[in-house]
Structure 1
Amino acid sequence: MPSNDNLRATGNQDKTANGNHRVLITGTGLYTPKNAISNEALVASFNAWVAADNAANSDAIARGELTARTESSAEFIVKASGIHSRYVLDADGILDPERMRPRLPVRDNDQSSVQCEMGVAAAHEALAAAGVKAEDLDLVIVACSNLERPYPAVAVELQAALSAGGYAFDMNVACSSATFGIETAANAIRSGSAKRVLMVNPEICSAHLNFRDRDSHFIFGDACTAVVLEAADVATRTDGFEVLGSRLVTRFSNAIRNNFGFLNRTAAREDGAVESADDKLFIQEGRRVFREVCPLVAELITTHLGDIDATGSDLDRMWLHQANRHMNDMIARRVLGRDPSEQEAPIILDRYANTSSAGSVIAFHLHHDDLAAGSLGVLCSFGAGYSAGSVLLKRCG
């Protein structure tokens, strides 16, 4: 297996050659909502709304003042994305043609928040897999695309709900939040400021999605993932994954955007429409994103592999961000120099859809048990910003 003097353990197997603590991923967890929506059910709701809207605006359409809306189809969704279904916190509200958004009632301030509740479920599984008690944690990070409130931090609430030790904070790098969170956690361990870190990704993507937009109404689902990272000298699990290193990149782009924020209410027009305008939800230029992001991510992974004198042919597994099947195939093809197999670049978006930062971790969580000791893999994210993260992992044992 290729190695690098700065990343290879020597002498003291709990530290790298430069004296930093070795970092291991020792446990992962996954919370999957109970409600699933198939493409067929989603399309039926969307097309019912399209028919009603076209009927309500028939005169304006006849005069040429408006363009009739186009129906969608399950086949179109699969062809465009590879998505067949998605899990959501609430299906009834989404599938109601008169509402078309989830029903998630406001909770009392003394109740657990939705994201904290999701985080607890995923965290318990990850902690159990790692053999770690919550009170032994030094840091809790909640990293996701959309936080349900600015403060108090959801991470601090989760820390309290778990009776975890240390400190906690939230962070947001859109779909790359998990890889950026892993680097943040790993750096805390390498520096010695933490021994055990819990990084959680509670994604409620259905709440920021415009279900009346034909080009994007099918993209997202909800889920929560959790990752336990530990210093090698305290980890009890011997078959985890060593974090060999991470590489992050950001480049500003408006191709993926969500303008919702606290300033919206200060700029409301007299009709109040600004708070519900389409650009306060998820919007993207899909073809442009494909064209610009795929080469960026492939170059990031390839360059990162070069840092440890490795190439795509040395990779045993690619856990890629689960946004679009065509993007994943293109990136894997550029890195490997050939078409990837289902085992080399596993796909979970067919049933989970795009779960933002949780997607690559779901792929890792569900598709790593078969890897032998010494196997090399990359966990990679990419999304709004643009942002992209590459984390190289080696199976221990």
Structure 2
Amino acid sequence: MQQTVSDKASSARPLTGRPVISATGLFTPEESISNEELVASFNEYADRFNASNAEAIEAGEIEPMPHSSVEFIEKASGIKSRHVMSKAPILDPDIMTPRIEDRGNDQISLMAEIGVIAAKQALERAGRDAKDVDAVLCAASNMQRPYPAMAIEIQQALGIEGFGFDMNVACSSATFGIQTAADYVRAGNARSVLVVSPEITSGHLNWRDRDSHFIFGDVATAVLVEDAAIAPEQHWEILSTKLKTVFSNNIRNNFGFLNRAHPESIGEPDKLFVQEGRKVFKEVVPMVAEMIIEEAEKLQMNPATLRRLWLHQANAGMNRLIAQRVLAHEANSDESPTVLDTYGNTSSAGSIIAFHQHSDDLAAGDNGLICSFGAGYSAGTVFVRKVA
């Protein structure tokens, strides 16, 4: 195989063209919102709404806004708390949205800042210097700006030569990024690629919507994908990657720069996260389970033998059913760990958080699956095997 990577990461060993995950990194915001805090804030807002619209409600012109509850949230999602970058404004019934201060163009942007923290941790865990990395992919649901690409800013902050670009496949962005990075390694076009997912999802959540106000949290993850020739002794061989998309309007966010042409529409609910939750559950669960099983069969692997599933952290019920279909039995917390309860839905970062926090205990030779799914519809699988 022709070695096309730069001399800056040269090695005595020839490239293998076999991609591996060398390490992962995680940034977690200090602030967290419990369900109890969130419900108290929402219910105060609901009471104010109902009081100010009492006459219209009495006349049957509009429906009263019902209360939320801790029991409702946990039954609907399995979420108990979520980390956020801007707690106080979210809980303020007069605001109920994060307030992030603008930064000058000479300052690092917030998404780049938290992405760099996660990336540095991944590099440190792999014993890798930033100058040895060839590319940065910023894979996340909502970018802070259209351009310059967040990935290029992260690349600059880390001191990486080479290239970077942004990609958005909603909740599947990280797994799509991992396959893209793995393909670069397979082709010999890079030997070390950072896939960084800074997810400030609190910014596109409608905190005034009872059916979804509890879903999202903020975080940043990083995955270092490298050629096996330069990987640390302990790493994860990427056995296969598989991507799938099927168009659906059941999860949607209509906000974008074209909204500026119609500023009166910016406050409309569909400019934030909206979904048809029951339809998503019904359609995505079988699609993802079938996708996993088919890919396992291509690998001549019995899916029931997978040691661990690191599934997308969006809904506990969806994960439970997908795991059951894949493993052919009710999965326990060791087989399908969750971080949803304390992180909430962190979009593309969720399955990576689960992998980051619940993978060190596996033994050499153990097989596992990183899987994400979400808006698009989009779904991505990464089958991995522990080495050393």
Q: Do Structure 1 and Structure 2 share a fold, with TM-score over 0.5?
A: yes
Summarize deviations over 1:64-120 as a string: whole Å, max 9, x none.
111110000011100110000000001001000000001101111111100000011
Mapped pair 1:279 → 2:274: no
Q: Quick one: which of 313, 330, 341 aligns to 2:321?
A: 330
8 A contact 1:198–1:229 mirrored in 2: yes
Match among 208, 223, 227 for residue 223 of structure 2: 227
CA contact (8 A) 1:14 1:22 kept: no
Is 1:389 aligned with 2:385? Answer: no
1:107 correspondence with 2:103: yes
Match of 1:186 in 2: 182
- How far did 1:275 drift? 1.2
Which residue does the alignment assign to 1:374? 365
Q: In angstroms, what is the RMSD of aligned CA positions? A: 1.0
Measure the CA separation in 1 of the matches of 2:294 and 2:188.
28
Residues paired across the two proteins, number: 376
Pairing partner for 1:303 from 294, 297, 303: 294
Q: Does 1:33 align with 2:66?
A: no
Match of 2:196 among 190, 197, 200: 200
Deviations along 1:6-46, whole A, 9 cap, x unmatched? xxxxxxx987xxxx611111110000001000000000000
| Alignment partners' CA distance in 2, 1:67 and 1:245 | 50
Distance of 2:137 and 2:364 partners within structure 1:
28
Structure 2 residue 165 is the aligned partner of structure 1 residue 174: no
> Which secondary structure state, in structure 1, belongs to the residue aligned with residue 282 of structure 2?
helix
Q: What does 1:326-365 correspond to in 2, within 5 Å?
A: 326-365=317-356
Question: Does 1:52 find its partner at 2:43?
Answer: no
Q: Percent identity?
A: 55
| Deviation at residue 344 of structure 1 after TM alignment | 0.5
3-state SS of the aligned residue for 1:357? Answer: helix
> Shift in Å at residue 286 of structure 1?
0.3
Q: Are the counterparts in 1 of residues 254 and 272 from structure 2 also a CA contact under 8 Å?
A: yes
Partner of residue 5, structure 2: none
The whole-number CA distance in structure 1 between the counterparts of 2:250 and 2:266 is 21
CA distance, structure 2, for counterparts of residue 82 and residue 192 of structure 1: 42
Normalising by the residue count of structure 2, what TM-score does the alignment of the two structures yield?
0.96
Contact 2:297 2:303 in 1 (8 A): no
Task: Judge conservation of contact 1:14–1:231 (CA < 8 Å) in 2.
Answer: no
The answer as to 2:244 corresponding to 1:249 is yes
- Counterpart CA distance in 2 for 1:14 and 1:296 is 39
SS in structure 2 of the partner of residue 263 of structure 1: helix
TM-score by length of 1: 0.94
Which residues of structure 2 form unaligned runs of 5+?
Answer: 1-12
Deviation at 1:233, TM superposition (A): 1.1
Q: Which runs of 5+ in 1 are unaligned?
A: 1-12
**Out of 125, 150, 156, which is 2:152 matched to?**
156
CA distance in structure 2 between the partners assigned to 1:181 and 1:378 by the alignment? 15
What SS does the corresponding residue of 2:353 show, helix, strand or coil? Answer: helix
Deviation at 1:273, TM superposition (A): 2.7
**Given residue 85 of structure 1, which amino acid in structure 2 is its aligned partner?**
S
Q: Which runs of 4+ in 1 moved over 4 A?
A: none
